[in-house]
Amino acid sequence: MGDVNALVRRLIHLRAGGRTQITLLAVCPNSAAVLEAAIVSAARSRAPLLFAATLNQVDRDGGYTGWTPAEFVGRMRAFAREHAWAGPLYPCLDHGGPWLKDDHAQAGLTLEETTAEVKRSLTACLAAGYALLHIDATVDRTLPESVPPSVDTVVARTVDLIAFAEAERRRLGLPSVAYEVGTEEVHGGLADPGSFERFIHGLRAAMTARGLLPAWPCFIVGKVGTDLHTTDFDDGVAARLTETVTPFGSLIKGHYTDWVANPEDYPASGMGGANIGPELTAVEYRALADLAARERDLLRGRPELRPSRFLDVLERAVEDSGRWRKWLLPEEQVTRLADLHPERREWLVQTGCRYVWTAPAVEAARQSLYNNLRPAIPDPHRVVVDRIAATIDRYMTAFHLVDSLTLLAA
C-alpha cells in the first residue's frame, strides 16, 4: 500500500473517479489496551490504521504511557504479531510543536528551548520509523493567552520544523515521511476560513522558496464543527475546506472526532482522516468500572479474599497527578476531588485516568482486580480490549474502511 503520502494520493484518485468515499482513521495510543484494541479492530476490519501519538503520550522521556517512540513502535508491531495482522499500521506524531507538551508549558520554556526539545523528539520519531509527523506551530506562550500567533508566524515556524525534519530524515538515510499541519484549535488563529486560506497559500509559498515542496503535507487539520464540548460534525464546512486543499494534493483531517454524532457524514464530505482518543479512554474506564462492580459481587460474603479497590486507587492516582485541575470550571474552586459532586468527580477521573494507567499502584490494583475475577472471567483483560475494539469498529464501519485494503492498494 506504500506510505501515507501514497495512501492519500490513492484516496484522492478514487474520489475523483467516483469509485469510493473513505476516511482514514487515526487512533491516539493513550494506553496499551487502546493500542491492542485498535490492532484487533484493524485486523477484523481488514483496514489500514494510523496511530496519532502526542508528545505527552509518547516521547523520549517515556510520556505518560511509559513508551519512547521506539518502544511504542515495537509494542505496536508486537501486538500485530500477536493478533496475526500483517496489514498496514502507521505510527504518527500528533501535535509536534512548541509548548504542546505539558511539561514544556509548565516549565516555562523559552521559544528556543521548547523548539530544541521538539526537534530532538522529531529525530527520535524519525529514527523509530514514524510514517507521519504532525507539525503544529500554533501555540505561542510568549503572547497573552487570548492572542493567537499571526498566520505568518505559524507559517514560518511550521516550515522551519519541516525543514529540520527533512534534513534529519536525509541524515539518517530514511525514506520519505508524510506531514500534517495546522490545528482545529482557536488558539492557532486558523479556524476562520480567511485565515485558513492565508495559511495554506503562505505555507505553499514558503515551502516553494525553500525547496520543500516534495514534503508538502498530505493532511491539513480543519475545524469541522467538533471540539471538546460538541459532537456535531459540520459536513458543509468540511466539504468547503476539502475543496480548498485538494488542488494542492492534500486532504482535510479532523481532530476531536470522539463521540461524534454523525461519523457516517465524514466520507461523504471528503474528509481524509479523523482522530479519536479520549472516547477510548472513557470506554476503557467504563469497562474496568463494570469489572470492579462484578468483583464486588463475587467477593460479597467472602472476607478471606482481599478486594482490589481498583477504582479507589485509580481516583487517588488521578488526584495526585494534578492533571484533573485543567478541566475544572471557573466556579469549581476546590482543592480535592472529594469536594466535587460525585458525577463530576467521576467524569474527571474518567477523563484523567489515561495519565496514570502506568502508575505502579494503578497497575498493581488492576492486576489484583483481574486475579480476583478469573474464577468467573478467565481473561478480564480481553473483556476490556474487546469493549474498546467494538467502539473503534463503529468508526471503521462509518468511514467505509471495512474490507478497504484491496481497493486502497490497487
375-388 residue pLDDT tens: 999 999 999 999 99
Question: Mean pLDDT over residues 67-74, rounded?
Answer: 98
pLDDT of 31: 98
- The answer on pLDDT for 39 being more than 70 is yes
Buried b / exposed e along 29-63 (16+ C-beta atoms within 10 A)? bbbbbbbbbbbbbbbebebbbbbbbbbbbbbeeeb
- The answer on pLDDT for 305 being more than 90 is no
pLDDT of 148: 84
Q: Answer left, alpha or beta for residue 322, where phi above 0 means left and psi between -120 and 50 means alpha.
A: left
Specify the range with the lowest mean pLDDT, choosing from 73-77, 244-248, 357-361: 244-248
pLDDT of 244: 92
Tell me which of 275 and 147 has the higher pLDDT.
Answer: 275
- The answer on pLDDT for 203 being more than 60 is yes
User: Are 109 and 117 spatial neighbours (Cβ–Cβ below 8 Å)?
Assistant: yes
- The answer on pLDDT for 266 being more than 70 is yes
Contacts of 279 (CB under 8 A, 6+ apart): 258, 259, 391
Interhelix angle 310-321/342-352, rounded to 10 degrees, is 80
User: Are 40 and 82 spatial neighbours (Cβ–Cβ below 8 Å)?
Assistant: no
- The answer on pLDDT for 183 being more than 80 is no
The Cβ-side half-sphere exposure at 298, using a 13 Å CA radius, reads 19
Per-residue pLDDT reduced to its tens digit, 319-345: 999 999 989 999 998 999 999 999 999
Label residue 184 by pLDDT band (50, 70, 90): low
What does the block give as the cell for 34?
487502546
pLDDT of 191: 60
Distance CA 106, CA 109 (A): 8
pLDDT of 146: 76
Label residue 7 by pLDDT band (50, 70, 90): very high
Give the DSSP letter of residue 238.
Answer: H
Q: Which domains does the chain have, with CATH numbers?
A: 4-276+388-409 (3.20.20.70), 281-378 (no CATH)
